[in-house]
Structure 1
Amino acid sequence: MSEMQDYKSSLEDPNSRKFGTFSYLTAMDAERVRKQVEYIVSKGWNPAVEHTEPENAFDHYWYMWKLPMFGETNVETILAEVEACHKAHPNNHVRLVGYDNYAQSRGAEMVVYRGKPV
């Protein structure tokens, strides 16, 4: 059995902080992000985009970028909204959320862009 790896993370170092399961993996390229959006759409979940300043990521609610995209199934439209949020707030973390109507919870969420701490 292999030894478990310890991921160093601290409140003093914003770059070391983890934001959910995907943050423990290598950074997702555009194709991997697209696959996750396709998965959210295939599950029938409603996509939404959120953002926040890196220093507020843990102790504040994230800002919602527009309203959730209820019923949106076009992957290009969803990716365009993620990109628009990033362009409008280039220093913020931007995450994509897939809301599961039946479980009334988040079925998926991932940080797509990591902001630069000030």
Structure 2
Amino acid sequence: MRITQGCFSFLPDLDDAQISAQVEYCLENEWAIGIEYTDDPHPRNTYWDMWGNPMFDLRDPKGVMMELDDCRKAHGDKYIRINAFDSTRGFETVRMSFIVNRPDTEPRLHMQRTDFEGRSQKYAWDVRG
């Protein structure tokens, strides 16, 4: 099963040239770039670990790609994503987020729905390796 989160999640994985093109688009829009990683890709897990600090003053995607390579070397067995932040309104808003690295074997998320009286439903999730 393939985890689908963020932009481009239903497409085949982006190669480095395509990632660099997306980063260049973000930088042209003056969005700051952040790199995050996790081993828990559950959709409700919004607290991924940050790799370094957000990159606010970059003008060339090569700097982001160097940081991404370093993150892949340290955490190549985890999910890694790139986030683009827009601070034009005085607070950081995520404008783009996409996964750039996946582990060799992705966990399977399983959802169990239980129906109750009066059309009530409850959902439970678990991760299956």
Fold match, TM over 0.5?
A: yes
Identity of aligned residues (%): 27
Q: 1:110, 1:21 → 2: CA distance?
A: 5
Runs of 4+ in 1 over 2 A off after TM superposition: none
Structure 1 spans left out of the alignment, 5+ residues: 1-14
Higher strand share: 2
Which residue is 1:9 aligned to?
A: none
Which residue is 2:66 aligned to?
A: 80
Is the aligned partner of 1:23 residue 2:9? yes
Judge conservation of contact 2:3–2:41 (CA < 8 Å) in 1. no
Q: Report the alpha carbon displacement of residue 112 of structure 1 after superposing the two structures with TM.
A: 0.6
Which residue is 1:107 aligned to?
A: 95
Q: Report the TM-score when normalising by structure 1.
A: 0.79
Q: CA RMSD in A?
A: 1.5
Residue identity matched to 2:98: M
Structure 2 spans left out of the alignment, 5+ residues: 107-128
Which residue is 1:47 aligned to?
A: 33
Deviation by residue 1:12-60 (Cα, 9 ceiling, x = unmatched): xxx322112311112212211111010011000001100001xx11243
Q: 1:70, 1:76 → 2: CA distance?
A: 14
What pairs up with 1:5-16 in 2 under 5 angstroms?
Answer: 15-16=1-2
Number of equivalences: 102
Which residue is 1:6 aligned to?
A: none
Q: Report the TM-score when normalising by structure 2.
A: 0.73
Deviation by residue 1:84-103 (Cα, 9 ceiling, x = unmatched): 11110111111111101125
Higher helix share: 1
